[in-house]
Amino acid sequence: MRALAGAVESAGDNPGYRRAADAYDAAALLADRPQDLLDLVASIVLTRDGLAAIAKRTARPRPPCFLNPLHGCSTGIRQWTGVRFSCPHAEVPACSPCGSARHEFDRQILRTLDYEGHSRPYFHVEGYWARTGFGAFEPDLPRRVLERLKVD
């Protein structure tokens, strides 16, 4: 988050400034009061989103990899026909390694967590992060997170 704070501070007239500032605020709030592991993951994803907005000089950086948001920005769209884990979407933003993985490797690329005694992908755990795919299906995740946290 320090890197994002510095980037926002020196952004000047960068078109990604507002997105990065919102991402910084949302990430800081989630890191300060995490409700669960997924809030901490979201804080990392938001920080990277803000850094990408500044670096790419855009208010709409590429969405994160849906299959593993900690992989960073997506590079394209992947058809999801997971053998072991179903997905609520037929097409998902994916990073290069996840986009090129074959079906037998799907289990290895998915970000899974222990939930109620079972290892499952985050999108099988009911909640906000599953619905938004950590920004994979939410064009302005920083703003939506701030609204969700009731921050103006």
Q: Average pLDDT of 23-28?
A: 96
Side chain identity, residue 121: P
Q: Average pLDDT of 28-52?
A: 90
Instruction: State how far the alpha carbon of 146 is from the alpha carbons of 56, 107, 113, 149, in Å.
Output: 22, 32, 25, 5
At residue 103, the pLDDT reads: 53
- C-alpha–C-alpha distance, residues 123 and 41, integer Å: 13
Look at 84 and 117; give whichever has higher pLDDT.
Answer: 117
At residue 121, the pLDDT reads: 83
At residue 147, the pLDDT reads: 95
Token pair 């609520």: residue: 88
- What share of the chain in percent tops pLDDT 90? 55
What confidence category does residue 27 fall into, taking pLDDT thresholds of 50, 70 and 90? very high
In angstroms, how far is the first alpha carbon of the chain from the final one? Answer: 21
Q: Average pLDDT of 53-73?
A: 94
- C-alpha–C-alpha distance, residues 50 and 58, integer Å: 10
Crossing angle of helices 37-56 and 2-9, in 10° steps, is 30
